[in-house]
Amino acid sequence: QKEVEQNSGPLSVPEGAIASLNCTYSDRGSQSFFWYRQYSGKSPELIMFIYSNGDKEDGRFTAQLNKASQYVSLLIRDSQPSDSATYLCAVNEEGGKLIFGQGTELSVKP
């Protein structure tokens, strides 16, 4: 069974700080990597995806991928209380299936 692992947290950061969320995966053949944000009781919302090694930036969010080490991370700069949510890492599997990690709870304190 292919696995995606995240630290469940909670990760607590002060407002304005950088939040760093990490994810490791077991399948070396995975090609696509996704970060979802999920507020309590709501559906997951895609915030970043990355296919190539290196960094991808979108506003305050940066996704980092290192295929050799099999990890993908999400950095949130200038964290805001509204960023408080659970962040789900997902990795594609053959056939177009997504494997999700268990999620990391982020709390941004004012």
**Binding region for another protein (CB under 8 A):** 1, 4, 8, 32, 34, 41-46, 49, 88, 90, 92, 96-98, 100-103
The backbone region for 67, taken as left when phi is positive above 0, alpha when psi lies in -120 to 50, beta otherwise, is alpha
In the bound state with another protein, the residue whose beta carbon lies nearer, of 30 and 73, is: 30
Instruction: Tell the smallest beta-carbon distance from residue 65 to another protein (Å).
Output: 14
50: nearest Cα among 72, 28, 68, 70:
72
In the bound state with another protein, the residue whose beta carbon lies nearer, of 52 and 102, is: 102
Instruction: Give the separation between CA 53 and CA 42, rounded to whole angstroms.
Output: 31
67: nearest Cα among 50, 49, 53:
53
Instruction: Give the separation between CA 105 and CA 11, rounded to whole angstroms.
Output: 6
Task: Return the structure tokens found at 21.
Answer: 């969320």
Instruction: Tell the smallest beta-carbon distance from residue 29 to another protein (Å).
Output: 15
In the bound state with another protein, the residue whose beta carbon lies nearer, of 41 and 110, is: 41
Instruction: Tell the smallest beta-carbon distance from residue 43 to another protein (Å).
Output: 4
Instruction: Tell the smallest beta-carbon distance from residue 67 to another protein (Å).
Output: 17
In the bound state with another protein, the residue whose beta carbon lies nearer, of 49 and 71, is: 49
